[in-house]
Amino acid sequence: MNPLAAVVASAGIISPENVAEMKKWGLPIAQPVEKLVFKSAEEFLQAIEQAMQSKEYVAAHETDLSMLQQFLATKKTGMLHLVGRHGTEVAAADIETLYGYTPTGEVVVPHRGDAISDLMINGETYLLTAEGQKVFFKDARELYYGAEKAFVMCTISTIENE
């Protein structure tokens, strides 16, 4: 359930029977809805404002319809060296991947999972290109086709020759 719907449903504005009916018709509503008691209209409005500022409402999905053609025209095979940290534990993996370039020199890789954008810019993850260069990134953003994440477009920070 999106954050705004959760606030409205938990305020008791929508009866539990109607919430159940909406769920039956396929709306993404969590069951059961925990009822919250707001002490004032201002408190309720503040909850709505916080919900409206959540990621679901402020995230802009970027779609570049020419990116698929650009990717196919420039694609090469490389090795993505992913490094992740959780506390003191370090995990690394090498994944063979296709990659391409945008006309402005950014690197595009197919989307592989929700955490990949964060991993791409952690300073330890790099792309080993077909030419043997290690390419590190400073920014990564997801490109969508409709509602589906298709690519991660990365801005290069440094390139090291092997």
Q: Which residue has the tokens 């999972």?
A: 113
Would you say 106 and 155 are in contact if contact means Cβ atoms under 8 Å apart?
yes
- CATH number, residue 113: 2.40.10
Q: 81 and 139 in one domain?
A: yes
What is the sign, positive or negative, of the torsion defined by CA atoms of 1, 119, 64, 155? positive
Q: Residue 3, preceding bond cis, omega within 30 degrees?
A: no
Residue 50 amino acid letter: Q
Taking only the tens place, the pLDDT of each residue in 81-118 is 999 887 788 889 999 999 999 989 999 999 887 778 88
Per-residue pLDDT at 66 = 76
Residues 125, 92: Cα–Cα separation, whole Å: 9
Domain that holds residue 13: 3-58
Q: 90 and 41 in one domain?
A: no
Q: 142 and 105 in one domain?
A: yes
Taking only the tens place, the pLDDT of each residue in 125-146 is 999 999 999 999 999 988 877 7
Q: 125 and 95 in one domain?
A: yes
- For residue 59, pLDDT beyond 50: no
Three-class SS of residue 41? Answer: helix
Would you say 150 and 100 are in contact if contact means Cβ atoms under 8 Å apart?
no
